[in-house]
Amino acid sequence: MKKRLGRMVNRILGMKLAYRLTLFYIVGGLAPLGMISFYLIRGTNEILVRQAENTEITELEAICGQILEIENTMTTVSSYFYFDPQLEKIAQTNYTDYQEMINDYRSYGSFKNYQSYYNTIISRIGIFLKNDSLRGNANFIRVDEETEEEPWYQRVSENGSGVVWAYLPHDVIDYDHAPALTRMLKTKTGENVGVLAIYLRPEKFEQMIRGRSGSTYIVLDGETVIAGNNEEIPFSELRQYLPEGKEEYQGHIRFADGAYVMTCESVGQKDTRDYFQVVSVRAVDDILKEAQRQHRKSLWLFCGSIVLAVSLIMIFSSSFGRRVGRFREQMQKAAEGNFELEEKLGGNDEISRLYDYLNTMIWRIQRLLAEIYQEQIHVERLKASQKDAEFKMLTSQINPHFLYNTLETIRMRARINGQYEIEELVKMLGKILRSSIQVGEKDMTIREEVELVEYYLKIQQYRFGERIQYRIFVEEGMEEQKILPLLIQPIVENCIIHGLEGKEDVGHIDVSVRRRDGDVTVTVTDDGIGIAEEKLSGIRRELAGGRTKGTHIGVCNVNQRVRLRYGEDYGVSVASVQGEYTRVEIRFPAG
């Protein structure tokens, strides 16, 4: 058996792809489709009945939610009448003056206010008071012996301060088909004031079930029908199927004319023993009318699906087999090193996209090889530029060695002769030359670099006097930040030579060191003659290309050193407006 099965599998795997796809689609597609269609036809009745049952539960729960909202609203309104001193006064006053009683009635505005605000729910509010001196009206009703014997009044009296839903006699209210929320009112000392009755509008419940299919009833305490819709089956016959108390129920029941689905949902409040039930009854035959139509639709759909599926399977299998064969040929050419592939395989499906991905992959491989070659050339250029910069720095250190020793001799002579100003000037110049000699040995702190810049500016002030003013700002906590040596001084020197020497008025230089977005930003600004737009564009091109040609060797040299140390994302940027200002910014990562 295993050998026979193995031979069958091998025979199937040896078939052409188009034939194999056709076989798999028929066995794996049409056969399950037939079984599913048969299952759907048989299961449609059960599905539709279950859907109808779930729909009934959902709709009845929504109605119960509306009823509960009405109950809560009316209970809330009833709580407003508790501990009311004005109501207590009316209940306990022995009226001898009719006008006084009428004035007290009129001054009590709670009835009017609540009836107006909750007009869509409440039809009337009445209070039953045990006060023989009262003359009753629509809102204040005097309790007599006959009223005390009423079952609803006794229930309210026995229930204390809880809520009781009851039907009041129709001689008390104009209509007898709406329940009223009743409860005993008490004073602050716990004495009974009277019984509050809030009458529900009867049409409120009728609106909830209007337009529903089947028979729907809203029942109080499982006995009294408040509202009914399409009463095909009398409630007296349904009463035997209702669950006891507030339990919920859904099931199938039978009457003489057939089977029905009966659903019962209950709703009640915590502070009352009364409860409402929403009962729905739908005939199973009415539900299955949809199932019969669904059967016919399913049959037509099944036949149409068979015809369409067979046609599509044959077309797709043939087309798919041809396209896979062409794709295999192109892959074989690429594997043999022939990258001259057809531009398009045709179509816009997955095979066409795979072929596009193959072209893209080949193009990226070629581009990657070119980028690697260009990167190697760039690295060699950077090494050559670094050697060139180091050579220029080395040559610039030869004369300062000799000059530093000579300046030290001059400083000592000036000190011996009492020329302290000259001594100070030579001392600052010597520090600058010493720093120039030591460039490349190690990094400096911002504090040391700024100190050299300040020496340089003081020397320039000896030269230019009050024509040059400067300000240096270092953000707090950045004094010990490491920095490449002689980054700021060449920029400041350019400000004086190219910006301020040609200015007749007083010139200002502003040097600031700040931290911005995790980087260190050194900004040097002067209000000199500025840079012409054409010349500024040339400087920016030199900075972008990392070259040190032209007249602005200092700026380009600083830019090259920063980029060699920290990468291409950092360096020097220049902004200027001719006749107004020049601003140079150096940016490198914080250490």
Give the model confidence (pLDDT) of 25-71 as tens digits. Answer: 666 666 676 677 667 666 777 777 788 888 888 888 888 888 888 88
Question: Over 90: is that where the pLDDT of 510 sits?
Answer: yes
Q: Using pLDDT thresholds of 50, 70 and 90, give the confidence band for residue 575.
A: very high
Give the predicted TM-score (pTM) of the model. Answer: 0.45
Cβ count within 10 A of residue 276: 25
* Stretch 130-149: mean pLDDT: 83
HSE (side-chain half, CA atoms, 13 Å) at 395:
5
Cβ count within 10 A of residue 59: 18
Determine contact, residues 88/285, Cβ cutoff 8 Å. no
* Nearby residues of 367 by Cβ (< 8 Å), 6 or more positions away: none
Distance CA 94, CA 74 (A): 31
* Stretch 317-338: mean pLDDT: 69
- Top pLDDT among 363 and 207 is at 207
Question: Over 80: is that where the pLDDT of 286 sits?
Answer: no
pLDDT of residue 584: 93
Q: Which of 18-32, 71-85, 132-146, 442-456 has the lowest mean pLDDT?
A: 18-32
Q: What is the DSSP string of 27-68?
A: IIIIHHHHHHHHHHHHHHHHHHHHHHHHHHHHHHHHHHHHHH
Q: Which of 99-103, 109-113, 430-434 has the lowest mean pLDDT?
A: 430-434
| DSSP tag of 174 | S
Lookup: tokens for 251: 């099931």
What is the dihedral sign for C-alpha 186, 189, 190, 192? Answer: negative
User: What is the maximum span of the chain, computed from C-alpha positions, in angstroms?
Assistant: 137
Determine contact, residues 352/344, Cβ cutoff 8 Å. yes
Q: Residue 339 phi/psi, 5° resolution?
A: -90, 10
| DSSP tag of 272 | -
Element (H, E) at 461: helix 446-464
Lookup: tokens for 370: 């070119």
* Stretch 461-488: mean pLDDT: 86
* Nearby residues of 74 by Cβ (< 8 Å), 6 or more positions away: 118, 121, 122, 181, 198, 200
Distance CA 502, CA 179 (A): 102
Helices (runs of H) and strands (runs of E) counted in the chain: 18, 17
Cα angle value 358/363/368 (rounded, 5°):
125
* Nearby residues of 130 by Cβ (< 8 Å), 6 or more positions away: 91, 142, 143, 192, 194
Which candidate, 279, 274, 175, places its Cα nearest to that of 225?
279
- Top pLDDT among 205 and 367 is at 205
pLDDT of residue 15: 60
Q: In DSSP terms, which residues pair with 553 in a beta bridge? A: none
Q: In DSSP terms, which residues pair with 229 in a beta bridge? A: 216
Q: Which string of b and e fits 108-140 if b means at least 16 CB within 10 Å?
A: bebbeebbeebeebbbbbbbbbbbeebeeeebb
Q: In DSSP terms, which residues pair with 41 in a beta bridge? A: none
* Stretch 522-535: mean pLDDT: 90
Q: In DSSP terms, which residues pair with 264 in a beta bridge? A: 249, 279
Q: Using pLDDT thresholds of 50, 70 and 90, give the confidence band for residue 523.
A: very high
pLDDT of residue 91: 82
* Stretch 336-358: mean pLDDT: 67
Which candidate, 488, 413, 411, places its Cα nearest to that of 446?
488
Determine contact, residues 142/135, Cβ cutoff 8 Å. yes
Distance CA 440, CA 446 (A): 16
| DSSP tag of 26 | I
Determine contact, residues 484/473, Cβ cutoff 8 Å. no
* Nearby residues of 423 by Cβ (< 8 Å), 6 or more positions away: 411, 414, 415
Mean pLDDT taken over the chain: 78
pLDDT of residue 586: 93
Cα angle value 388/393/398 (rounded, 5°):
125
Q: What is the DSSP string of 479-518?
A: TT-EE-TTSSHHHHHHIIIIIITT-SS-EEEEEEEEEETT
Distance CA 164, CA 152 (A): 8
Q: In DSSP terms, which residues pair with 268 in a beta bridge? A: 275
Which candidate, 249, 257, 262, places its Cα nearest to that of 285?
257
* Stretch 278-305: mean pLDDT: 76
Q: Using pLDDT thresholds of 50, 70 and 90, give the confidence band for residue 221.
A: confident
Q: Using pLDDT thresholds of 50, 70 and 90, give the confidence band for residue 75.
A: confident
Cβ count within 10 A of residue 35: 10
Question: Over 90: is that where the pLDDT of 431 sits?
Answer: no
Helix residue ranges per DSSP H, 80-188: 85-92, 98-107, 110-117, 145-148, 151-159
- Top pLDDT among 354 and 251 is at 251
pLDDT of residue 275: 85
Q: Using pLDDT thresholds of 50, 70 and 90, give the confidence band for residue 585.
A: very high
pLDDT of residue 395: 47
Lookup: tokens for 91: 């209940």
Cα radius of gyration (the chain): 50
Burial class (CB in 10 A: 0-12, 13-18, 19+), 541: exposed
Q: Using pLDDT thresholds of 50, 70 and 90, give the confidence band for residue 312.
A: confident
